[in-house]
A and B are shown apart, each in its own frame.
Chain A
Amino acid sequence: MGKFFAIVLTVITLVSASIFAMHIWWMPVDISVHGPALDKQFGETLMGTGFGFLVAQLSLAYFLWKFADKGDGRKVREFPGGPKVTIITAVVLVGLEILALSFVGQKAWASVNLDPAPPNAMHIDVQAEQFAFYFRYAGPDGQFGAVHPEKISDGNGNYFGLDPENDIPARDDIVVGSLTIPVNQPILLTIHSKDVGHSFYVRELRIQQDFVPGIVIPVHFTATQTGKFEIVCTQLCGLGHYNMKAYLEVLPQDQFDQWLKAQAGQ
């Protein structure tokens, strides 16, 4: 039974680890400026934990193979060195890992969440609702109209609750259901929710940030590749959670300018 256990455990361990190693299912290619630091951090964590996984499971398997009770009255033996060895191993190895990860990780986290957006960042306002994202560009005047919750209506397309009748900056605001941005341009999103908690998740951008009702949260990033990507909601927001998504389209600057002009003309 011990040998069988050892074989099963070894097979499970090796199969599990090699699927990771072969990248059969993996993160998509990163398209953000801050992403490579996160990916590197991920790689280092995977190396560390992968080593721990293999050593722990395989030595367990080996001991199971070796130390079954054969009914021969063999003496039990203590692990050489006793608990000191295991404690020191755990403290040193795990402690080093923690120190390394904390220092590197702190930088990666800071570049996303602590550093302010660059001053030339393009500002886009994002509102989440059950179950869609809407994006607002300031329009030619460069100013956003004020948001009036009581004016919000999905029926007439006033998703942000603008008041163009009385509020002149609101008149040229461009409201769309997809996020279109220029490549290599810092983007600042101010994200807020109309109803419950949502989350803004773009895998390729390595960005995930909750929408918190009652709070406006800044998010900034720079996309380095053009293409079309999916924005999905990752915070349980109700029955349509699974179908809450939008597209992110990263365009070359000239195409983006054309697109923006076309929208403003509508």
Chain B
Amino acid sequence: MRSGYFTALAVAVLLGSGMLVFAKPPAGSGSITGKVTYTGTPPKMKPIDMSKEPSCAKQHATPVMTQNVTTGPGNALQWVVVYISAGDEGSSAPSQGARYDQKGCEYLPHVLPMQVAQQLQIYNDDQTSHNIHPLSKTNPEWNKSQPPGSPPIDTKYDKAEFIPVKCNIHPWMHGYFAVLNTSHYAVSGEDGSFDIKGLPPGKYTVTAWQEQYPAQSQEVTISGSEAKTANFVFKVLPY
């Protein structure tokens, strides 16, 4: 099993480098950058009591907080997926897989963007069993456990969807798979900033998606190797 996995990885690396040499895709050099912020009073994030899983609890000096509305300095809003929702269909999935980690009974990253049909590898880095239960609606739903020491789960999604992911064993573990139809996307960082690179010239709809509040869209047109700016403001509520 393990050796099979390495073989697959080696083949993927070879193919990937081969594509770099022989079939470099016509990547654009336009970009869209910006910042995601909020107005209003955000809800208080709550501390998570991990005491039932001591091997995880001891990895965190201060309690881990819930992440459904993660804010930063300057009204920054983190974990917002900004992506091209129209104008960039049909690009094939990258050969490199997306990696999702379970570490210290947290999902790393909290929101994982990936492209339709892109390989997804899920690792358990903890000393405890996790079960990965993506609550997909348009894609088939599955629910698999991953005991410590077992091989990574290797899968992919065939339809675009924002999929909540939960671990039933540790009910506080909550994350999202953002399965997108585009290869151009970014997730806002602690300061709320994002940067979508490599866009060929064209007319795009840029959408910002947040797990709790309604998504927002803007039209952006890029000509040549322009660097455009698009900012998003989410209205948040205390409860």
| Direct chain A–B contact by Cβ atoms under 8 Å | yes
Residues A157 and B172 in contact, CB atoms below 8 Å apart: yes
Q: Given the complex, which residues of B lie within 8 Å of A131, measured CB to CB? A: 168-171
B129 adjacent to A155 (CB under 8 Å): no
Question: Are B68 and A130 in contact, CB atoms less than 8 angstroms apart?
Answer: no
User: Does A95 belong to the interface (CB within 8 Å)?
Assistant: no
List the one stretch of A16-24, A55-63, A104-112, A241-249 in contact with chain B. A241-249
Query: How many A-B contacts at CB < 8 Å in the complex?
Result: 66
Which residues of B65-112 have CB atoms within 8 Å of chain A's CB atoms? 66, 68-69
Interface residues on B, range: 20 to 34
Beta-carbon contact of A178 and B66 below 8 Å: no
- Are B171's CB and A132's CB within 8 A? yes
Q: Which residues of B contact A238 (CB under 8 A)?
A: 168
Q: Is the CB of B239 within 8 A of A164?
A: yes
User: Roughly how many angstroms separate A245 CA and B51 CA in the complex, as a whole number?
Assistant: 9
Task: Identify the interface centre among A159, A163, A176, A240: most chain B CB within 10 Å of its CB.
Answer: A240
Q: Is B169 in contact with A157, judged by CB distance below 8 angstroms?
A: no
Contacts of B46 in A (CB 8 A): 156-157, 175
Whether A243 lies near B169 (C-beta < 8 A) is yes
* Binary flags per residue of A149-173, CB closer than 8 Å to B gives 1, else 0: 0000011110100011100000000
A215 interfacial by beta-carbon distance below 8 Å: no
- Counting chain A residues whose Cβ lies within 8 A of the other chain, the interface size class is 20 to 34
A239 to B145, CA, bound (A): 9
- Which residues of A218-254 have CB atoms within 8 Å of chain B's CB atoms? 238-240, 243-247
| B31 at interface, CB cutoff 8 A | no
A70 to B47, CA, bound (A): 78
Across-interface contacts of B66 in A (CB, < 8 A): 155-157
A128 to B145, CA, bound (A): 21
Asked if A177 and B169 make an inter-chain contact with CB atoms under 8 angstroms apart, the answer reads no
Identity of the chain A residue whose Cβ is nearest the Cβ of B43 in the assembled complex: A156
Closest chain B residue, CB of each to CB of A176: B49
Bound-state Cα–Cα, A115 to B121, Å: 55
Tell me if A129 and B68 are in contact (CB < 8 A).
no
CB-CB under 8 A from B47, the residues of chain A are 266
Are A155 and B174 interface neighbours, CB within 8 A? yes
Tell me, yes or no, whether B10 is within 8 Å of chain A by CB. Answer: no
| Chain A contacts for B50, CB-based, 8 A | 177
Specify the chain B residue showing the minimal Cβ separation from A230: B52
Any chain A CB within 8 A of the CB of B136? no
CB atoms of A178 and B49 under 8 A apart: yes
Contact of B68 among A155, A176, A244 (CB under 8 A): A155
A240, B52: Cβ atoms closer than 8 Å = no
Tell me which residues across on chain A come within 8 A of B211, comparing CB atoms: 155
The answer to whether B131 has its CB under 8 Å from any CB of chain A is yes
Please give the distance in Å from A128's CB to the nearest CB on chain B. 11
- The A-contacting residues of B in range 142-199, CB under 8 angstroms, are 145, 164, 166, 168-172, 174
List 26 A-B residue pairs with CB atoms under 8 Å apart, sorted by A's residue number.
Answer: A130-B171, A131-B168, A131-B169, A131-B171, A132-B52, A132-B170, A132-B171, A132-B172, A154-B171, A155-B68, A155-B166, A155-B174, A156-B66, A157-B66, A159-B171, A177-B49, A177-B50, A178-B51, A239-B168, A240-B168, A240-B169, A243-B52, A244-B52, A246-B52, A247-B51, A247-B52
**Interchain residue pairs A-B with the least CB separation, the first 8:** A177-B49, A240-B169, A157-B46, A155-B174, A165-B239, A156-B68, A157-B66, A154-B171
